[in-house]
Structure 1
Amino acid sequence: MEAVTAAWERYAAGRTPRRDVNAAGATTWVNWTQYPDHGPDESLLGPVCGRRVLELGCGTGCNLAHLAMLGAQCVGIDVAPSQRAKAEARWGTVPGLTFQTAEATEFLTDRPDNFDVVLSIFGPAWFTDPATLLPLVRQALSAGGVFAFSHRPPSADPRPRQPLREARTVSRWDYSPHEWAALLESARFTHVTAGIIDPPDSEGEGTLVVRAET
């Protein structure tokens, strides 16, 4: 676990802070893809005002801060301690928004019905064994809750793909939309939608976005 935390700390140290304002002039927004000002907005989650929201792998808290501004009661967790410090420095005065340093599966254990929405944007949904993570997410969600996440799609390389890939000390579960749908349905999620959003130009890579309900 220490090696994984150290890896994410190295990653966090190299990240550029999010812009203060996006192309629409907004100071907070949700960005599901790896491209600025591209892809769906918070409507993917349904109404969030008054709902209990958890973000797994919240980073510096920019996506979650937007949901808190819309009236959600938000908790963000990240395994890298420096990310919590950055999130609190930027968003610590926003009502209804708190951050914790925690590993996703450890945090979710023994938290039944604690949240109405769980999201993960290029976060633990991509880097945690779904056999372990999905039952814990479902347990943590209230009836009718929403689980949504995004990450890069599997490689288009025609060579046989290994579902589990190693990037230094961090494992990644690269599944197709069809595979994710099957995994979520096996974990007793319903109304599953999974697809790949095209990039903003023909040269880029798409983004896999998944949504399911309890």
Structure 2
Amino acid sequence: MSSPKAEIWERYAAKYKPRRATNAAGATTWLNWTQYPDHGPDETVLGELRGKRVLELGSGAGANLAHLATLGAVCTGVDIAPSRADLALKAWGHLGELDFISADAIDYLATAGESFDIVYSIFGAVWFSDPEELLPLVRKRMTAGGVLAFSHPPATQQDAKPGQVVQQRHLSNERWIEHLVAAGFHEIEAEIINAPEPGNPGTVLLRAHVA
């Protein structure tokens, strides 16, 4: 039987609209950290990718992770909604060195045997998980010299109400840095990527390293 959280994400997945076949540059795969198309930094945020073991937390339909696979990374995506993992495998499984798993991010990190050089999340599981629980588990699954990066909307005045099954973690950069340091990360960089149009919300982007 699926969990209440998984059922919520399945309902969200039912509303999914496929990504464009190509971006503004004509590419068929690409990675974008913000909520705006063709905006913001690309995969270079993650450093060298060829041969690296990469984990995406909240991989959705798999398009971002598929792009990293085309660049030579060995990729694993985890998403709590079973239909998302199935869709991602059907769309991108032919690329090879790419696997999608249906699981809660915290449960996966607590039980997985693999280690990863790069872990990232784009409006994904990091945004929806308790950082005091998630970040130490991420740290334990990362290799020396590894990179963690994640993005989400900027902090708001009010977080989700206690008791909700799914809560968004609208934390300030300062609070994220505190949680990352407590979990054992260092060389932490935090920024706000401005929206392409003035007046629209930007995007929080954090990157941290493992010694």
TM-score, normalised with respect to structure 2: 0.95
Counterpart residue number, 1:178: 174
Q: Does 1:18 pair with 2:15?
A: no
SS at match of 1:204: coil
Q: Residue by residue, what CA displacement relative to the aligned partner does 1:26-82 show, whole Å, maximum 9, x if unpaired?
A: 000001110000011000000110000000000000000000000000000100001
Q: How far apart are residue 145 of structure 1 and its match?
A: 0.4
Q: Does the 8 Å contact 1:165/1:172 carry over to 2?
A: no
CA distance in 1, matches of 2:75, 2:43: 14
Alpha carbons of structure 1 residues 79 and 41: separation in structure 2 relative to 1, 3 Å? same
- Give the deviation of 1:114 after TM superposition: 0.8
Q: Relative to 1, partners in 2 of residues 1:89 and 1:111: Cα closer, same or farther, differing over 3 Å?
A: closer
What's the offset of the Cα at 1:86?
A: 1.0
For residue 45 of structure 2, what is the aligned residue in structure 1? Answer: 44
Percentage of identical aligned residues = 49
Q: Which position in structure 2 is the counterpart of 1:60? A: 61
Instruction: Give 5+ residue unaligned stretches, structure 1.
Output: none
Q: In the TM superposition, what are the counterparts of 1:107-118 in structure 2 within 5 Å?
A: 107-111=108-112, 114-118=115-119
Alpha-carbon deviation of 1:203?
2.7
1:9, 1:81 within 8 Å by CA — same for their partners in 2?
A: yes
Rounded to whole Å, the distance in 1 between the matches of 2:196 and 2:105 is: 31
Partners of 2:3 and 2:115 in 1: CA distance: 28
Does residue 1:200 correspond to 2:196, yes or no?
yes
CA distance in 1, matches of 2:119, 2:43: 12
CA distance in structure 2 between the aligned counterparts of 1:113 and 1:21, rounded to whole angstroms: 33
Cα deviations by residue, 1:145-191 (Å, 9 ceiling, x for unpaired): 00000001112x4xxx34x5469631121101111111101111011
Task: Indicate yes or no: 2:31 matched with 1:8.
Answer: no
Calculate the aligned-residue CA RMSD, in Å: 1.6
Deviates more, 1:102-111 or 1:92-101: 102-111
Name the stretch that deviates more: 168-177 or 115-124. Answer: 168-177
CA contact (8 A) 1:113 1:139 kept: no
Q: The residue matched to 2:12 in structure 1 has which SS?
A: helix
**8 Å contact from structure 1 (residues 166, 172) kept in 2:** no
2 CA distance for matches of 1:125 and 1:187? 14
Quick one: distance in 1 between partners of 2:59 and 2:162? 22
Q: Give the TM-score normalised by structure 1.
A: 0.93
Within 5 Å, which residues of 2 pair with 1:53-202? 53-111=54-112, 114-155=115-156, 157=157, 161-162=158-159, 164-165=160-161, 169-202=165-198
Which amino acid counterpart does residue 116 of structure 1 have in structure 2?
D
For 1:201, give the aligned amino acid. E
